[in-house]
């Protein structure tokens, strides 16, 4: 690739010029409410899959060591259990979560210059909830999948990040007990 590719990357567009303002002092105190607000605004801006996020997990230590890995998933719900996602237990991430039940999610909405990070321990939700999630998939055909598992991240930390055209990006952080000092 060399120098040409390096220079080409520098020419690619940055954030759009009309990023929204974000005032943490006037934001909902409940991070789930703030997230829903930002998700709605991303939809209004035309983001195609605003509920898609990257999920990072930790390697099991065998072979590749404690190599992190990440991939895109779809958010399934947010409730008292945490932030839900679903996948097969037999997948790489399923095996990694069985060995190391801890993960980090990252949402990014380019049209708004917004990012949301959520990280913490992961719990497995019930077989019934997992089966319902499998049955409600967009391309569901009525068949079951005993390996399908619904999980929830119990947030130890959540960060809302608003990019700014003047470079004064805003980070609004929550710990398990509420808003953290900026």
Ligand X SMILES: Cc1cc2nc3c(=O)[nH]c(=O)nc-3n(C[C@H](O)[C@H](O)[C@H](O)COP(=O)(O)O)c2cc1C
Binding site for ligand X (CB under 6 A): 49, 52, 69, 71-74, 86-87, 91-93
Beta carbons of 50 and 109 less than 8 angstroms apart: yes
CB of 4 to ligand X, least distance (A): 29
Q: What angle do CA 19, 25, 26 make, to 5 degrees?
A: 70
CB of 20 to ligand X, least distance (A): 24
Query: Please, which residue, 71 or 171, has the CB nearer to ligand X?
Result: 71
Query: Please, which residue, 22 or 35, has the CB nearer to ligand X?
Result: 35
The CA distance from 28 to 179, in Å, is 10
CA distances from 93 to 66, 122, 135, 176 (A): 13, 12, 21, 25
Query: Please, which residue, 58 or 74, has the CB nearer to ligand X?
Result: 74
CB of 76 to ligand X, least distance (A): 7
């Amino acid at each position: 690739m060399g120098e040409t590719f390096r220079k080409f990357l520098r020419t690619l567009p940055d954030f759009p010029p009309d990023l929204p303002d974000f005032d943490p002092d006037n934001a909902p105190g409940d991070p789930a409410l703030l997230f829903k607000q930002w998700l709605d605004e991303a939809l209004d801006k035309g983001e195609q899959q605003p509920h898609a996020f990257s999920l990072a997990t930790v390697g099991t230590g065998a072979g590749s060591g404690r190599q992190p890995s990440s991939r895109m998933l779809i958010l399934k719900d947010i409730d008292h259990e945490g932030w839900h996602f679903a996948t097969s237990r037999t997948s790489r991430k399923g095996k990694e979560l069985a060995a190391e039940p801890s993960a980090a999610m990252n949402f990014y909405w380019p049209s708004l210059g917004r990012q949301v990070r959520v990280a913490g321990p992961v719990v497995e939700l019930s077989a019934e909830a997992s089966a319902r999630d499998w049955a409600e998939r967009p391309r569901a055909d009525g068949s079951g999948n005993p390996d399908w598992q619904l999980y929830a991240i119990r947030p130890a930390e959540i960060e809302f990040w608003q990019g700014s055209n003047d470079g004064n990006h805003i980070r609004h952080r929550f710990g398990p007990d509420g808003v953290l000092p900026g």
